[in-house]
Amino acid sequence: MCESKVIIRIGSDERTYEEVAYLGFEGGRITLIDIEGRKHVIEGFTRVVRIDANFVKHTVQVVLE
C-alpha cells in the first residue's frame, strides 16, 4: 500500500490528497494521480511559492499563490 500524501495550499485553502502515485507540474497547472488512477488537476494559481518534501514520511507540501 502506498502512503504518499500531497498537501496543496493556495492562500488559506488547503487540500490533501492521499496515496499519490504521480505529481507533475506543467503549463501552469499541477496534476496528481492516485494509485487507483483518479486524476486531480489544480489550476488558478499564479506561482509556486514553496515545495517541502519529507521522503521519510512520504509527504509533499506545495504552497501556491
Task: Please state the domain extents for the chain.
Answer: 5-64
Model's pTM, two decimal places? 0.81
pLDDT tens, position by position, 13-53: 999 998 999 999 988 899 999 999 999 999 988 888 999 98
Q: Is the dihedral of CA 58, 7, 43, 33 positive or negative?
A: positive
* pLDDT tier for residue 54 given thresholds of 50, 70 and 90: confident
* Longest Cα separation, the chain: 34
